Amino acid sequence: MATQTTDAGPLAYATTLVTVLLIGVAGFGVGTILTVVVAGLLGAVGIDVFGSPVLQIVVGVLTLQGLGFGSVALFYLSTRDEGLGLLMLSMPDLRDAIWVAAGLIALFVALIGMSLIQTTFGIESAQHSLQELGTQNPEMLLVLVPLSILLVGPGEELLFRGVIQRLLTLRFGVVVGISIASVIFAFAHVGSLTGEGLLPTLVTYVVLSLILGGSYHFSENLVVPAVIHGLFNAIQFSILYWSVTTGGGEMLWLVAL
């Protein structure tokens, strides 16, 4: 089990910051390379990945959140003496189920609250690229529902909460560590956002990430934020699909984590 060392010198704090940033960059780098490689291999046999929004999403999630984030996280863990012991991970039980329910409710309350604040004060927010793609290609949203639960939630939480947040909380303490990890997690989504109002949207991502980070710390089980994260995205994609296909009115603000 990893031990907390918040009494280290400035060099140790700086080293931890650089380490977690490099881990995050490596996750995206490896995932991007794998995406290009897989797309190239499929293209060689006549399958145009980038010609199909659905196939592009499937390959992207498999290679980035699945293989990219997962492989980088596991590789880093293999370099540490405690290995998987760095993670707070156990078989989920009733207590964890309660944490999942509470965390999921908290995310939607926070999302609605941030949306109301921005609407009340006329603050413009950026749009997630998947909202426009999903509106134009509703079938893609159905694919994203299981992918969110099976790969996006587990993959992102393993890297950003299991490794990055854990390293930061061990070095900086709980409050500062979760806060820094939440900012990193928010900025990791910049590439998915379009339009004006980037900063207010990033603030929303930080708030939502704080909830995920808190659920991991207090539940002491990585399964909890992974399930919360996956369900949060899956529910939003389901609502957007219903809105688009039934004409029930477009969902105004998709915040896919």
pLDDT of residue 144: 94
Average pLDDT of the segment spanning 228-238: 96
Higher pLDDT, 3 or 195: 195
For the stretch 23-36, pLDDT in tens is 999 999 999 999 99
- How far apart (Å, rounded) are the C-alpha atoms in residues 160 and 62? 17
User: Is residue 255 predicted with pLDDT exceeding 80?
Assistant: no
| Beta partners for residue 128, in sequence order | 193
Higher pLDDT, 151 or 253: 151
For the stretch 124-172, pLDDT in tens is 988 888 888 888 899 999 999 999 999 999 999 999 999 999 999 999 9
pLDDT of residue 209: 98
Band of residue 177 on the pLDDT scale cut at 50, 70, 90: very high
- Of 210, 100, 108, 208, the C-alpha closest to 165 is 210
Query: What is the value of pTM for the model shown?
Result: 0.94
pLDDT of residue 1: 56
For the stretch 45-95, pLDDT in tens is 999 998 888 899 999 999 999 999 999 999 999 999 999 999 999 999 999
Higher pLDDT, 127 or 223: 223
Average pLDDT of the segment spanning 182-205: 94
| Beta partners for residue 193, in sequence order | 128
pLDDT of residue 2: 65
**Dihedral Cα 19, 9, 85, 20, nearest 10 deg:** -20
- Of 148, 155, 126, the C-alpha closest to 241 is 148
